[in-house]
Amino acid sequence: MKEEIFVCVMIAGVNNNENARIERNLNSVFTQNYTNYKAVIIDDASTDGSVEIYKKYLEFYSIDKKYYTLIANKKSVKSMANHFFGMLFHCPVNSITLTLDADDELIGRNIFQVFNEQYFTRKSGVLYSENYRYAPDTVFKKGHNSEYTKY
């Protein structure tokens, strides 16, 4: 792999996700096989205590503050504004910026490496990936059960 370009992961527009998969979401970011990154987590004025769950997670796992910024909005400004201000004030200009919804997760531990490699190989300005929907009780393909279904 060439040099690790800084990866800035925007987890923005978080609002009332107490029952969402917060731990899986954050685990998928903080367990990447990559060292040059930061997660910008923006809670959009949640009223359910989810920001406390984020704080407890970060403290429990002793996540180094160089790897994240946690912002708790006092007033909801919605997802697009959170992404804009998060990128503007917390992501370096020459970084790879990923967006990850608060109820989603990255599958695998080399996602940042893949994006880094594609950045150099394809000289890409925009990359995207497929996604899968979490559906633990879904039955499909002649009775096959799967926790993840292609979306």
pLDDT at residue 144 tops 50: no
Task: Round to whole Å and give the CA distance between 54 and 52.
Answer: 5
pLDDT tens per residue across span 27-53: 999 999 999 999 999 999 988 888 888
DSSP one-letter code for 122: H
pLDDT at 140: 47
* CATH fold group of domain 7-124: Spore Coat Polysaccharide Biosynthesis Protein SpsA; Chain A (3.90.550)
Q: For residue range 106-132, what is the model confidence (pLDDT) as tens digits?
A: 988 999 998 898 888 877 677 666 666
Under the phi-then-psi rule, with left for phi > 0, alpha for psi from -120 to 50, and beta for the rest, what region is 83? alpha
Instruction: Using the structure block, give the residue that is written with the tokens 């996540």.
Output: 63
Domain residue limits, the chain: 7-124
Q: What is the pLDDT of residue 137?
A: 57
pLDDT over 60 at 143, yes or no: no
Of the two residues 15 and 107, the one the predictor is more confident about is 107
DSSP for residue 7: E
Mean of all residue pLDDT scores within the chain:
82
Q: How far is CA 5 from the centre of its chain?
A: 17
Say which residue, 80 or 137, is predicted with more confidence.
Answer: 80
* pLDDT tens string 81-107: 998 999 999 999 889 999 998 878 898
Q: What is the pTM of this model?
A: 0.81
- In whole angstroms, give the CA distance from residue 5 to residue 16: 32
